[in-house]
Amino acid sequence: MKKREFIKKASLLSASVLGVSSLGFSENKSVNNPVIGKEVNPTAPMNLVIGSDHAGFPLKAPLMKILKSMNYNVKDVGSFNPEPVDFPDIALLLAAEIKSGRAERGIMVCGTGVGAAIACNKIHGIRATLSHDTYSAHQCVEHDNVNVLCMGAQIIGISIAEEVMRNFINAKFSTEEQFRRRVEKLNQFDQVAPDK
């Protein structure tokens, strides 16, 4: 088998295992996968909130510009300049927008995305993911009903960040019972009293 034919067959096999056609469309309709990189319904934009610390600041402005060009309503909770700021403080502001209902989902950017994800996941009612790839960016919403996407400005550039962000925003929580049941169990964790 020639190298080109082998690569083509391997690519098709990988796509079928992942449930994606060679054109980039999901074939698993039950979890309502998005078309990669395309808005599902740009005429009915959701309210979003975005935040960053100083390390994430250089990536936040271009992401905001993209979101506004997609007609989303976006609230920026800071930081507003490259001066040092603590990411937990921004995470609290971002989470407050989601918990109040003023925003449906949030995007948090720090240096690696790790600190942002830790901070957001400490907050009652917030489920945050660290995603630097398109698959986990939509799968986390479809299976786990994640409401905050965290990314690292020192890890990925604007092109990949844009695709990750689009997949996160366009994804919908699955109506399948097993995913709803598991997320309800996660919700019950918020009710558990901390150890003394």
- The pLDDT tens digits of the residues spanning 129-154 come to 999 999 999 999 999 999 999 999 99
50 vs 16, higher pLDDT: 50
> Encoding tokens for residue 26?
């999901």
> Catalytic one among 110, 120, 140, 150?
110
Q: Write the CB contacts of 182 (distance below 8 Å, at least 6 apart in sequence).
A: 143, 144
Please, what are the domains in the chain? 44-189 (3.40.1400.10)
Question: How much is the pLDDT for 22?
Answer: 31
- Report residue 143: phi and psi, to 5°: -100, -30
Beta-bridged to residue 47, according to DSSP, are 73
- Report residue 12: phi and psi, to 5°: -65, -40
What is the mean predicted confidence (pLDDT) over 40-55? 81
Active site residue 150: no
pLDDT band for position 190 (cuts 50, 70, 90): confident
Question: How much is the pLDDT for 43?
Answer: 56
Whether the predicted pLDDT of 50 surpasses 90 = yes
Q: What span, in angstroms and rounded, lies between the C-alpha atoms of 187 and 196?
A: 21
Residue whose token pair is 């019950």:
188
pLDDT band for position 175 (cuts 50, 70, 90): confident
